[in-house]
Amino acid sequence: MLKFLQDVVIKLLQSVVKQLPRTEKNDEEKHRAKNSSTYVQKYSSGKTYNVVETSEVSTPTEETKQIVTNTKRRSIMPNKKIYDRKVYMLIDQSGSMVRRDSLFNNERRWKAIAEVIEGHVYNILNQEGMNGERICDEITVTFFSPNRSSTVIRPIQDDSQVPALFEENQPDSNTFLAPTFQQIVGQWFGTRMPNEGGFIIIYTDGELDDRDTFVNSIQETCGKLNSQDELKIVIIGFGSDVNRDPSFYLKLDANANSFTDKNSKPCNIIVFDLLNKMPSIIDLLNRQLEDPKAGLPGWGKEFCPELYD
């Protein structure tokens, strides 16, 4: 009799559970879970960005926030060599920068790259290591175009300073990089603290009018370095022209010229990528700090297969 009553009670409970609005609840939970981590691709100035959009489900405690922050840091932490460096940005100011480019939704290259650089400045100035290390506290920005040293060298401490720089300096003339490059390299050697490394980030839309002089300048710079980790020259190509033929820069990246440092060891200080194919600016700065030989971008094999053998 007791067993019979137990069976009846169980069946009644099961019947009640089946009538509960489980489907509605499950749908609501699935919707919330989906919205809590939705990856959206946004196309801005011809560049695709991966953005994580989050919706609040609950208010995390300060302790929870700190755990999440530390976990993110550990998962994306770049090589410690990335920190404590002087950072310079050399921006192509040649006449071709006024062209409208299909890669930027027919926006002028000058306007598009200004927005990109604003984001890069923000990320570099705000990158922080596990123990509070910083890449730098300011970035020195300059422009290159005519066959002479730059007359505009501006230290900036915040990304909000970038738009005014582009307003004050408009595209003009040819594309001579070597004079400004030599000027900035000399400034780095002359002002850096002991063991302070450097990043020289060059933004260009393609053809240089002084390729040979620029290559010779890189070779001379390598000959003054103790090792290839001291200084990295990061070249970011953007626009349709350089996308059609980036082979010159890929060969520099692969150290096809066999540059050596002051100790006669291989000195591969060039890192190259295309803006529309590169990872984040922090990932690009970090690319060859672990292993210089592993630095060539995968897409480059189409243009220079001999570099990938």
* Residue range 60-80, pLDDT digits in tens: 455 444 443 443 443 357 899
Residue 27: pLDDT above 90? no
User: Which CATH number do you get for residue 270?
Assistant: 3.40.50.410
What pLDDT does residue 58 have? 41
Range of the domain at 96: 67-290
Residue 22: pLDDT above 80? no
What pLDDT does residue 174 have? 87
Average pLDDT over residues 266-292: 92
Question: Does the residue 144 lie in any domain?
Answer: yes
Number of domains, the chain: 1
Question: Does the residue 15 lie in any domain?
Answer: no
Q: Which of 24-38, 208-222, 269-283 is predicted with the least confidence, judged by mean pLDDT?
A: 24-38
End-to-end CA distance of the chain: 82
Question: Does the residue 55 lie in any domain?
Answer: no
Question: Does the residue 282 lie in any domain?
Answer: yes
Residue 207 in contact with residue 244, Cβ under 8 Å? no
Provide the whole-model pTM: 0.76
Q: Give the number of residues written for the chain.
A: 309
What pLDDT does residue 51 have? 34
**How many Å apart are CA 31 and CA 153, to the nearest integer?**
51
